[in-house]
């Protein structure tokens, strides 16, 4: 194995896999990246058995071959090199020599035969999708995913077609304390066969976000029975689906909240950030009291003190309504929204609140109340 490659291309490929490789694992090879030099390309692959990424980059291949190398170490080395061209030459016992200008490194690797294979996607059906659609759906749901590993079926975002013959797709996420739901119209929705929907794990979606953030390109998505697959030109991302039954989330979305507050999103967000500075670090508990065009946000913490702020809102009822919530949940929701004004729909202090952007019925968030 011997090849030369532009340092910037190599760095881009190695950077893409850093979030995928598993550094603390019982399988040391999962901390490595697989390099395959063939047909004028360097193929870089990484997987943790849940998420996999494979990209092809132009290279001058003098001798084809493959090797696995420590992903973090090789990335840090390439990042610090100064010259434009990097040369790799495989030696005995899976050692490899790396040269760049006057810099020389000899690195020990592992056998490529022991590296896990990524799913075969060549015969799968793919659909082209606007990257902005995926970005929007992910950014508006991912923060609600549960981090509790004992509730593994909540450790991802639920992706489904809410109606069989509709052109609408939906993403839902919940951790039991809050829920985020977004609908989008896509042209190929009717061709998708989701059955009961699929659960896409949080780590995989975080890696997809990084790819989407790279900017313009032709994105395609596809599914098989176990994987969600995303293609962008010569890059492929594999995300193993969570095997589990997603709960009936529609049960927790209130249908009879009659008290509607209309609030300036930016002012509400700033107020929540200020008031929560004195709230409990663990619960972030705040109290909301609405009455006659005014919303009072407050918190009380025996260890730090008290804070209160008043906002003008659109709410005509003279009978006050109050409820307690976790401020962080509201902050996450408001950060994800773009609407200038939002509606907060309440019923009583023991019922969940509904948050929507004014004029945007495709994005709904539910927040469970707290006893204060």
What is the per-residue pLDDT across 180-215, written as a single tens digit (0 to 9) for each? 999 999 888 777 776 679 999 999 999 999 999 987
What is the domain-level CATH number for residue 283? 3.10.150.10
- Angle between helix 71-80 and helix 7-17 axes, rounded to 10 deg: 150
User: Which pLDDT belongs to residue 329?
Assistant: 98
Residue 291 lies in a domain: yes
C-alpha 358: how far from its chain's center? 25
18 and 59: one domain?
yes
User: 236 with 142, same domain?
Assistant: yes
Q: How many CA atoms lie within 13 A of 193 on its CB side?
A: 3
Question: Are residues 108 and 20 part of one domain?
Answer: yes
In a domain, 119, yes or no: no
Based on its alpha-carbon atoms, the radius of gyration of the chain, rounded to whole angstroms, reads: 25
Q: Same domain for 329 and 237?
A: no
In-domain check, residue 214: yes
| Residues 60 and 40 reside in one and the same domain | yes
Last residue of a domain, one of 223, 246, 269: 246
The predicted model scores a pTM of 0.93
Q: How many helices (H) and strands (E) does the chain have?
A: 6, 25
Domain-ending residue, one of 246, 267, 287: 246
Q: Is residue 32 part of a domain?
A: yes
Does residue 171 share a domain with residue 78? no
Q: Which domain holds residue 322?
A: 253-367
| One pLDDT digit (tens) per residue for the chain, 372 residues | 999 999 999 999 999 999 999 888 789 999 999 999 999 999 999 999 999 999 999 999 999 999 999 999 999 999 999 999 999 999 999 999 999 999 999 999 999 999 999 988 888 899 999 999 999 999 999 999 999 999 999 999 999 998 877 889 999 999 999 999 999 998 887 777 766 799 999 999 999 999 999 877 889 999 888 999 999 999 999 999 999 999 999 999 999 899 999 999 999 999 999 999 999 888 899 999 999 999 999 999 999 999 999 999 999 888 899 999 999 999 999 999 999 999 999 999 999 999 999 999 999 999 999 988
The string of pLDDT tens digits covering residues 146-181 is: 999 999 999 999 999 988 778 899 999 999 999 999
Question: Tokens 């092809």 — which residue?
Answer: 56
User: What does the longest C-alpha to C-alpha distance in the chain come to?
Assistant: 82
* Residue 110 within any structural domain of the chain: yes
132 dihedral zone (left: phi>0; alpha: psi -120 to 50; beta) = alpha
**Is residue 317, in this structure, part of any structural domain at all?**
yes
Q: Are residues 197 and 108 in the same domain?
A: no
Label residues 92-121 b or e (16+ Cβ within 10 Å = b): eeeebebbbeeeebebebbebeebeebeee
Element (H, E) at 291: strand 285-291
Residues 213 and 301 in one domain: no
Tally of domains in the chain: 3
User: 57 in a domain, yes or no?
Assistant: yes
Q: CA 174, CA 363: separation in Å to the nearest integer?
A: 14
User: Are residues 261 and 217 part of one domain?
Assistant: no
CA-to-CA distance for 311 and 333, rounded, in angstroms? 18
Q: Are residues 242 and 274 both part of a single domain?
A: no
CA 276, 277, 278: angle at the middle one, nearest 5?
85
Q: Residue 269 — φ and ψ, nearest 5°? A: -60, -45
Query: Among 193, 228, 246, which residue terminates a domain?
Result: 246
Q: Are residues 6 and 110 in the same domain?
A: yes
Residue 154 in domain? yes
What is the spatial distance between Cα 197 and Cα 194, in angstroms, rounded to a whole number?
5
Distance in angstroms (rounded) separating the CA atoms of residues 249 and 246: 8
Do residues 266 and 283 share a domain?
yes
């Amino acid at each position: 194995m011997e090849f030369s490659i532009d340092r910037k291309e190599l760095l881009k490929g190695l950077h893409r896999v850093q979030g995928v490789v598993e550094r603390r694992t019982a399988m040391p090879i999962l901390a490595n990246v697989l390099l395959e030099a063939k047909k004028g390309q360097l193929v870089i692959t990484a997987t943790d058995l849940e998420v996999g990424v494979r990209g092809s980059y132009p290279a001058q291949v003098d001798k084809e071959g493959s090797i696995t190398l420590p992903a973090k170490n090789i990335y840090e080395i390439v990042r610090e090199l100064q010259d434009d061209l990097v040369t790799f030459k495989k030696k005995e016992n899976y050692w490899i020599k790396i040269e760049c200008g006057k810099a020389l490194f000899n690195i020990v690797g592992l056998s490529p035969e022991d590296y896990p294979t990524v799913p075969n996607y060549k015969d799968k059906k793919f659909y082209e999708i606007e990257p902005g659609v995926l970005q929007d759906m992910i950014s508006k749901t991912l923060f609600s995913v549960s981090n509790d590993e004992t509730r593994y079926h909540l450790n991802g975002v639920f992706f489904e077609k809410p109606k069989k013959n509709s052109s609408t797709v939906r993403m839902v996420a919940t951790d039991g304390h809050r829920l985020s739901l977004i609908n989008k119209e896509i042209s190929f929705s009717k061709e998708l066969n989701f059955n009961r929907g699929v659960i896409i794990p949080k780590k995989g979606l975080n890696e997809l976000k990084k790819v989407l953030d790279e900017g313009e390109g032709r994105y395609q998505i596809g599914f098989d029975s176990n994987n969600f697959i995303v293609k962008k030109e010569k890059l492929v991302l594999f995300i193993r689906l969570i095997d589990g039954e997603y709960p009936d989330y529609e049960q927790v979305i209130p249908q009879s909240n009659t008290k509607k507050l209309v609030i300036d999103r930016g002012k509400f967000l700033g107020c929540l950030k200020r008031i929560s500075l004195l709230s409990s670090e663990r619960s972030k508990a705040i109290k909301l009291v609405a009455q006659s065009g005014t919303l009072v946000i407050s918190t009380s913490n025996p260890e730090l003190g008290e804070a209160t702020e008043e906002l003008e809102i659109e709410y005509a009822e003279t009978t006050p309504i109050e409820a307690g919530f976790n401020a962080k949940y509201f902050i996450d929701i408001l950060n994800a929204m773009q609407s200038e004004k939002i509606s907060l729909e309440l019923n009583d202090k023991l019922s969940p609140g509904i948050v929507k952007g004014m004029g945007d019925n495709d994005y709904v968030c539910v927040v469970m109340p707290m006893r204060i």
